[in-house]
Amino acid sequence: MRVPSRRLSLAGALIAATIVASCGGAPVLPAAPSTRDPLAGVYSARGGGGALEAVIPLTRAFAKLHPGVIWQGLDDVGSDAGIKLVQSGDLDLSFISREPKSAEAPGIVTVPIGATGTGVAVSASNAVAGLTRDQLAKIFRGELTDWRDVGGAPGSIHVLMREVGAATRAAFEAYCFGGKPATGYAKNAIEVNSYDETVRSMKSFQGSIGIMSVTSQSFAEASIRFLAVDGVSPTRETLADGTYRMRRPLYLVYPSDPAKVKPAIRAFIDFVNGPEGQHILATL
């Protein structure tokens, strides 16, 4: 009688295993399949640049716990755009560096992750140590045009202003003008669209004054320094205790519809609100 080949194969495997065992070795069995992290995947996150300093260490720590999680983006598209992209479903997660506007609230949930501020920066060689709110308003409106008018060395003031919609600009306008300046900005004002562009412009024009988010990156930039505003310098301490007035809250933003929140994003939010996430935020 002929024995089917499958039985012969099985019998051969058993005989081989028995021989290996009798020679003092253990049979080599197939490895058990590894368990895939159900959260593994690629997730998109973009938003306001002022929040990146808090967002990046949070996402890195979460990715260490879940190596299959890959964050795509993590760059500055602005707070306005970040909220719109979450609302449209084009982003899994966003982050903003200001309070959400009432018109933006529908369809989103915010999670606080700290605070930043809008700092007023000048060239590191500028002798002026600080300005008052009134002096800032006059400079940015073009009513004060020479540094000697505010205690500095003679030289023209070049005004750099962030683009409309930037959280840095909104905080500056709210503090110095109570909104947008009624008479507009200085005629020589140059609009810049990012932190990097602001720094490059300040290097080109030594008499420049500009605004930017207060972050480790801006603190570390040797070519510039922040001015005290109404006697208070922007530091981590003055931002934390609220004595620096141009303070901006930071938030994560995700859809309010639970069906639109991916499991990994929900797990990330839980991580941020949990002990490890809060420890990371407390040590920034």
Geometric angle at alpha carbon 71, from 193 and 192, rounded to 5° = 5
The pLDDT value given to residue 134: 97
The pLDDT value given to residue 19: 39
Q: Kindly report the number of other CB atoms within 10 A of residue 268's CB atom.
A: 29
Helix H or strand E segment including 35: none
pLDDT digits (tens, 9 = 90+) for 182-227: 789 999 899 999 999 999 999 998 899 999 999 989 999 999 999 9
Average pLDDT for the chain: 89
The pLDDT value given to residue 34: 56
* Alpha-carbon gap, residue 48 to 211, rounded angstroms: 15
Per residue in 143-178, is it b (16+ CB within 10 Å) or e — as a string? ebbebeebebeeeebbbbbbeeebbbbbbbbbbbbe
Confidence of residue 263 (pLDDT cuts 50, 70, 90): very high
Confidence (pTM): 0.79
